[in-house]
Amino acid sequence: MRRTTRFTAVCVTLTAVLLTGCGGEDGAAGSSPAASALPSIDAAADTAALATVEQTAEPGTAPVLGFTAPLRVTGPVARVMQPGAGEVIEVNRAVVADVVTVNGSDGTEEGNTYDGSPQILMTDEANMPGALLDVLVGAQVGARLLLASPVAEDETTLWAFEIESVLDVPVQAEGTEARLQPGLPVVDHADSATTDVRMPVIVPADGPPPEELVVQPLLIGAGQPVTADSSLVVQVAGSLWDGTQFQNTWEEGAGKPIVLSGAIEGWRQGLLGQTIGSRVMLVVPPELAWGDDGRGDLIPAGSTLVYVIDILAGI
């Protein structure tokens, strides 16, 4: 596996940057530009601006973007820079892509996966801006795409993608059942409104939470082990120790792409070495999660968190 670069540090996962701000694995957003702080969208001008960008690249190498700076757009806009010749990309698929990010103000490169690990993108509305989804679905593997979006007032970022492959992503984990430790929450199941499978539901345990990280495999998959720089597609149910739910990606339908190195410490430790295809319960003490600060209104300060994670795919 290729080494991780600073690309993940600048929070390039599209969901994090363009839909919810630079958040962690739990989908809780950091600060993101308020809509009121951005100008009204001029789609025609944005399309014209993106059309001025030129790209020079050989297959498998990072592109060089040429444009007159500053380049600014008022809303997300995307185009196909070079068609591909491989598999046609459909909706609700996991796409592996190399990405370069460029600052539209001065043309400087802000991140690059070509020397590190490619990213996984999910082609659905929950995980991808509509402008990119519109040009990616129907394109073919090998295509190069360009996306521009405002990230702050008078500040635009460009993302240049090269589509490497499409991953098969199962709807849920499947594997050998593991022996459960006593005293942990129980995993029940309930019907999902958005998928055809029964999603896991966390039933709280009695007594105080454990003080250390607990890693409890529930189903052991047959895939490759997760590494520190893995990009993954997961489904997640998350609750406080008392059973109060704060996250359930099953209710959104599609899996969630994450970069493990950008997750909370409890995930980085707990998922390391687990195999693709597994379902894992993590009981994460506060110091390996959000500590004394908490996370928004859903995760109070000092909370022990319980996650049930299906590791559906990964690279």
What does pTM read for this prediction? 0.82
pLDDT the model gives residue 192: 72
Residue 37 has pLDDT above 80, yes or no: no
| Whole-angstrom distance, CA of residue 27 vs CA of residue 2 | 26
Angle at 274 between CA 285 and CA 208, to 5 degrees: 25
Provide the pLDDT confidence category of residue 195 given band limits of 50, 70 and 90: low
Q: What is the pLDDT of residues 108-165, one digit of tens each?
A: 999 999 988 899 999 998 888 999 999 999 999 999 999 999 999 899 999 999 999 9
| Whole-angstrom distance, CA of residue 53 vs CA of residue 208 | 58
Residue 127: name the closest of 215, 2, 19, 207 by CA: 19
Delineate the domains of the chain, giving CATH numbers in brackets.
8-167 (3.10.50.40), 176-314 (3.10.50.40)
pLDDT the model gives residue 251: 86
Residue 186 has pLDDT above 90, yes or no: yes
**Residue 11: partners with Cβ closer than 8 Å, 6 or more residues away:** 17, 22, 262
Q: What is the pLDDT of residues 261-310, one digit of tens each?
A: 999 999 999 999 999 999 999 999 999 999 999 999 999 999 999 999 99
Residue 2 has pLDDT above 70, yes or no: no
